[in-house]
Structure 1
Amino acid sequence: MLKFTFYGHSCFQLDDGAHKVLTDPFLTGNPKAAISADKVEADTILLSHAHGDHFGDAQAIAARTGADVVGVPEVLGLLDLPAAKLHGMNLGGSLVLPFGKVRMTLAQHSSGVAGGIACGYVIYIGGKVLYFAGDTALFSDMQLIGKKDALDYAMLPIGDNYTMGLEDAALAAKWLGVRHVIPIHYDTWPIIAQDVEKYKEVTESMTPAKVDIVRPGESIELA
């Protein structure tokens, strides 16, 4: 089974029993963080962009755990880690990793580092196909992401202001054709406070997707 653990904001861990994949590890300074940077485990870290609330503790966690770090080259250039541990990618590229594979996807957002771009990932792990959108606005090519792969789960930001809000994230679920959505990137601060139950209601009324609300510190098995 594949376990999803939400650590708050856009940080979650995927655990297939042999590998632990961590996303956007903003833990230090995160008022909703469910674990500290010196306790979280990772074999691979996926970075969507270089804003502090996503790049976060990547350096410290990777140095402590020996995790490989995946991202666009400009973001990886901010890290002081052995070159063999850094795996640069760009949009549309795929990379085979010990747990499976990732494909880097477009995200409509600023990057946090000069010359860089924001991204998302399609993640192939534990027999599932997952879409981690990163920080993004709604964009029509989400339909292509869903057409290329039959997505089991999508982790979508719903916080508004900096990313999609409730309505756009519901439409994203429809365009992706995904079976399940896990909302992320909301309620960390008042400016991105959202009624996640309302998001569940709206999304499930307009799409076949089931919305799984996972609170910081909670884990679910991905079916």
Structure 2
Amino acid sequence: MRVTYYGQSCFLLEIQGKHILFDPFITPNELARDIDPGSIPADYILVSHGHADHTADLVPIASRTGATVVCSFEIAEWLANRGVTNSHPMNIGGQWNFEFGTVKMVYAAHSNSLPDGTYGGTAAGFIITAGTRTIYYSGDTALMADMRLTGELYTIDLAFLPIGDNFTMGVDDAVIASKFINCQNIIGMHYDTFGYIKINKEEAVSKFDKAGIRLNLLAIGSTSEY
């Protein structure tokens, strides 16, 4: 399983021979200025919610690649109005078997609207089971008790959690979330992109380390094996 980081909350997961892209926000991100969105492959695009810092490059990448966009029903309708019709709408608690494995859409405690103000449905996260691996992508979220249930129902091998605070949970709450989901291998996201969410990375890693949890802070453009 390979993970490539494109900044903010945008990752490319390569698993079971498929390229799964999460929350494509690249072009407006000054930290990702060396990334060419036109070179990113995608068989599937998973969209947690509609905010611009998660969807800025969604339409062009989906149009270019023909990827199946997995998202809320409301976002699927918004995309159809922009010429992107290859979507798979879901809602909270729903599950579907795709070519690479199973995706379950789960609740995220966050607001959700699209760049033009259109209502985007309920903000979401995803639990992906592919082969022998289970991955939790929380989307933008606060710490919530629902995460305990995730830890009870699944054996999470790798989790993507926001750590930037202000708009989502911060480092301290993300440590607690990691314990709730019972995962010791965390990839941090939604941090450093702009002033409100800048963090002390050394302090963040140290706090996770003291809790016996590995926090991975990937360099933008880098690829790691898990």
TM bucket, shorter chain = over 0.9
| Residue from 191, 203, 226 that aligns with 1:198 | 203
The total of aligned residue pairs comes to 219
- What is the Cα deviation at residue 82 of structure 1? 5.3
| Residue from 184, 201, 217 that aligns with 2:221 | 217
- What is the Cα deviation at residue 45 of structure 1? 0.1
The structure-2 alpha-carbon separation of the partners of 1:56 and 1:126, relative to structure 1 and needing over 3 Å to count, comes to farther
Q: Distance in 2 between matches of 1:221 and 1:121?
A: 20
2:62, 2:84 within 8 Å by CA — same for their partners in 1? Answer: no
The structure-2 alpha-carbon separation of the partners of 1:185 and 1:115, relative to structure 1 and needing over 3 Å to count, comes to closer
**TM-score normalized with structure 1 length:** 0.94
1:173, 1:203 within 8 Å by CA — same for their partners in 2? Answer: no
**TM-score normalized with structure 2 length:** 0.92
- What is the Cα deviation at residue 115 of structure 1? 5.8
2:49, 2:120 within 8 Å by CA — same for their partners in 1? Answer: no
Structure 1 segments of 4+ aligned residues over 4 angstroms from their partners:
none
- What is the Cα deviation at residue 181 of structure 1? 0.3
Alignment RMSD (CA, Å): 1.4
- Stretch moving more, 39-48 or 119-128: 119-128
| 2:186 counterpart of 1:181 | yes
Number of the residue aligned with 2:40? 40
Q: Distance in 2 between matches of 1:216 and 1:125?
A: 25
1:171, 1:203 within 8 Å by CA — same for their partners in 2? Answer: no
2:59, 2:84 within 8 Å by CA — same for their partners in 1? Answer: no
Task: Please list the CA deviations of residues 72-131 of structure 1 after superposition, one character each: whole Å capped at 9, or x if unmatched.
Answer: 111111113454x21010111111111111110110000114261100001123531111
1:170, 1:199 within 8 Å by CA — same for their partners in 2? Answer: no
Q: Distance in 2 between matches of 1:125 and 1:193?
A: 33
Unmatched runs of 5 consecutive residues or more in structure 2: none
Unmatched runs of 5 consecutive residues or more in structure 1: none
